[in-house]
Amino acid sequence: MKIRIKFAKQGSMKFVGHLDIMRYFQKVMRRADVDIAYSEGFSPHQKMSFAAPLGVGLISRGEYFDIEVNSTESSGRMVDRLNAVMVEGMKVISYRLLPETSKNAMSIVAAADYLVRFRGEAKPCSGMEEHFREFMSQDKIEVVKTTKKGESLADIRPMILAYDVTDGFFLKLATGSESNLKPELVMQAFCEYLGVEQKPFSILSERLEIYGKGEDGELIALEDFGENIWES
């Protein structure tokens, strides 16, 4: 059975990198006595894959990974069992059964929601909300992106799928293997637009949700590809 698990990463856990989070959840599976499936061969490993790595220093309300299990209890019981062995700052939110034909989360990631705020004294100017609307009204927003092939000039405006400035800076950004934009790059471009230097560690970023594309191309929260397992 394929299972998709949603979890939150808060507090001091934001300083733990992706590889360590992977190792952490491998231990959680053993401590919670999850009947997880293992690969075959000389070096068996748990069948587990993560949706989209979260950068160090970011917190999140919506991270995901998929596992395969041989047997399972209800979603409610499994969430309780997992949270009973979790450390402070980590919390499982949902545990859902996926259709047998589902693709893994990593392969379908298409977008993510972020909430970005400037630290109190690090605000680049007053009236930022109106300035940000003007910034977003541009047809093009060009920045220098660094990739494995080097640096290149890229227009990031098409990768900003939605935004709002009602409570901080809400950004829905293209995410995944086809197109990937980090909130830090958007805010860097915004500061350059204002003509001010962005101070180091001046912003607080939180990932709110990760989406995949449905059959008709619409964005669907990754947990909504599955369904809860109820008590029999």
* CATH topology for the 109-212 domain: Alpha-Beta Plaits (3.30.70)
Widest CA span in the chain: 61
Q: Which residues contact 21 (CB under 8 A, 6 or more apart)?
A: 9, 50, 54
Q: What does the pLDDT look like over 48-103, one tens digit per residue?
A: 999 999 989 899 999 999 999 999 999 999 999 999 999 999 999 999 999 999 99
Cα 46–Cα 62–Cα 217 angle in degrees, nearest 5: 95
Architecture of domain 2-107+217-228: 2-Layer Sandwich (3.30)
Domain(s) of CATH 3.30.70.580: residues in the chain: 2-107+217-228
Q: What does the pLDDT look like over 144-172, one tens digit per residue?
A: 877 777 788 889 999 999 999 988 899 99
Helices 128-136 and 183-194 cross at an angle (nearest 10°) of 100
Q: What share of the chain is helix, strand, coil (3-state, %, to 5)?
A: 25, 35, 40
Query: pTM for the complete prediction?
Result: 0.92
In the block, which residue shows the tokens 């594309």?
A: 213
